[in-house]
């Protein structure tokens, strides 16, 4: 049997809290003949800050001639030892902004640049980026988290722009941003307050995949939450 006869899925950021649960969920479904799980330690590896690793990984996947019908970028950055989400203007630094934009916007854009050409030319396929509701400009009433919010807004604009271009060559393909909902992972751990609706990564994975599997080409270039409800830009 040719690899093009079997649908494959591919997760980037498979080491993350949500990415690993999405990978396990997809592997449990009979629908996907193969599930690629890529991260900074996989073979091939992907480091969002190193475009050559993205190119090499895309070339490696292309060699397999896989028919990728579901592609999820589950990477993201909110905090590390050096950078905390800003509470006020004086916390904003050039390095915090640059790092958030590199990981949350430029990195996924480079992944889409090199992986969207692997989308099947005919037939439905879904490419999704995990974004965040706080990246919505219209929904922003609280302020704060300047770098994270702005980098996710930039990611959303890149998704929208690339979706318009994708439609010209692959009218059945879908490219969308999705907010996974507040999920118990390392990323959210310092901020998960009592009373907040924090779900397990396993529950989030099922919800996200369910939304993505039900999108239609008309939904391409849009931003959804984990229940499939559109989020304003
Ligand atoms: N958890 C939530 O409540 C929540 C809410 C809204 C939105 N989100 C979004 O959901 C996505 C997944 O978040 P999560 O909660 O699963 O976070 P997580 O557990 O911290 O996972 C983050 C993932 O991003 C990867 N990553 C970071 N920098 C990278 C780089 N330079 N190159 C390659 N991979 C890199 C990490 O790889 P390593 O393992 O190598 O570090 C890891 O796989 C993010 O986009 C986040 O913004 C999450």
Candidates 5, 3, 12, 47; CA nearest to 128 is 12
SS3 201: helix
Q: What is the pTM of this model?
A: 0.97
CA-closest residue to ligand 1 atom 4 = 182
pLDDT, tens digit (0-9, with 9 covering 90-100), for 85-96 = 999 999 999 999
CA-closest residue to ligand 1 atom 3 = 182
What residues have CB less than 8 Å from 142, skipping those under 6 apart? none
Q: How far is the CA of 66 from the centre of ligand 1 (A)?
A: 25
CA-closest residue to ligand 1 atom 17 = 187
Backbone angles phi, psi at 23, to 5 degrees: -60, -50
74 — alpha (psi -120 to 50), left (phi > 0) or beta?
alpha
**Pocket probe mutation, ligand 1, options 10, 11, 13, max atoms within 8 Å of Cβ:** 13
Query: Rounded distance, CA 120 to CA 68, Å?
Result: 7
**Pocket probe mutation, ligand 1, options 16, 21, 131, 227, max atoms within 8 Å of Cβ:** 16
Query: Rounded distance, CA 124 to CA 170, Å?
Result: 9
Q: Which residues lie with the beta carbon below 6 Å from any ligand 1 atom? A: 13, 15-19, 39-40, 46-49, 74-77, 103, 130, 132, 179-180, 182-183, 185-188
- Identify which has the larger pLDDT, 196 or 233: 233
Residue-range domain boundaries for the chain? 3-224
Mean pLDDT for the chain overall:
96
At 149 the pLDDT is 98
Domain 3-224 homologous superfamily, CATH:
NAD(P)-binding Rossmann-like Domain (3.40.50.720)
H helix and E strand count, the chain: 6, 6
At 196 the pLDDT is 77
Residues facing 7 on adjacent strands: 67
DSSP code string of 127-196:
EEEE--GGG-STT--S---HHHHHHHHHHHHHHHHHHHHHHHH-TTEEEEEE---SB-STTTGGG--TTS
Query: Rounded distance, CA 172 to CA 224, Å?
Result: 18
With 80 as the cut, is the pLDDT of residue 199 above it? yes
Q: pLDDT-based confidence at 19, cuts 50/70/90? A: very high
- Residue identified by tokens 């397999």 is 64
Query: Rounded distance, CA 108 to CA 110, Å?
Result: 5
Query: Rounded distance, CA 161 to CA 190, Å?
Result: 33
At 193 the pLDDT is 75
Q: How far is the CA of 204 from the centre of ligand 1 (A)?
A: 14
Average pLDDT score over residue span 34-55: 98
With 70 as the cut, is the pLDDT of residue 2 above it? no
Q: In what order do the strands lie in the sheet with 173-178?
A: 34-38, 7-12, 67-73, 125-130, 173-178, 223-224
pLDDT, tens digit (0-9, with 9 covering 90-100), for 63-83 = 998 899 999 999 999 999 999
pLDDT, tens digit (0-9, with 9 covering 90-100), for 132-178 = 999 999 999 999 999 999 999 999 999 999 999 999 999 999 999 99
């Amino acid at each position: 049997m040719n690899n093009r006869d079997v649908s494959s899925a591919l997760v980037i950021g498979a080491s993350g809290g949500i990415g690993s649960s999405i990978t396990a969920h997809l592997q449990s479904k009979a629908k996907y003949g193969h599930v690629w799980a890529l991260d900074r330690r996989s073979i091939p590896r992907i480091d969002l800050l190193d475009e050559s690793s993205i190119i090499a990984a895309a070339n490696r996947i292309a060699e397999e001639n896989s028919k990728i019908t579901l592609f999820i970028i589950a990477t993201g950055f909110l905090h590390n030892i050096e950078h905390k989400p800003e509470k006020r203007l004086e916390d904003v630094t050039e390095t915090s902004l640059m790092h958030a934009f590199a990981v949350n916007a430029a990195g996924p854009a480079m992944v889409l640049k090199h992986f969207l050409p692997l989308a099947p030319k005919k037939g439905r396929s879904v490419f999704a980026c995990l974004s965040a509701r706080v990246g919505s400009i219209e929904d922003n009433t609280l302020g704060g988290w300047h770098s994270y919010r702005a980098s996710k807004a930039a990611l959303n604009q890149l998704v929208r722009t690339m979706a318009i271009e994708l439609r010209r060559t692959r009218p059945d393909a879908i490219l969308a941003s999705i907010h996974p909902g507040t999920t118990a992972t390392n990323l959210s751990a310092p901020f998960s307050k009592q009373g907040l609706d924090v779900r397990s990564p396993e529950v989030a994975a099922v919800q996200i995949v369910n939304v993505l599997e039900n999108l239609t080409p008309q939904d391409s270039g849009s931003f959804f939450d984990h229940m499939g409800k559109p989020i304003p830009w």
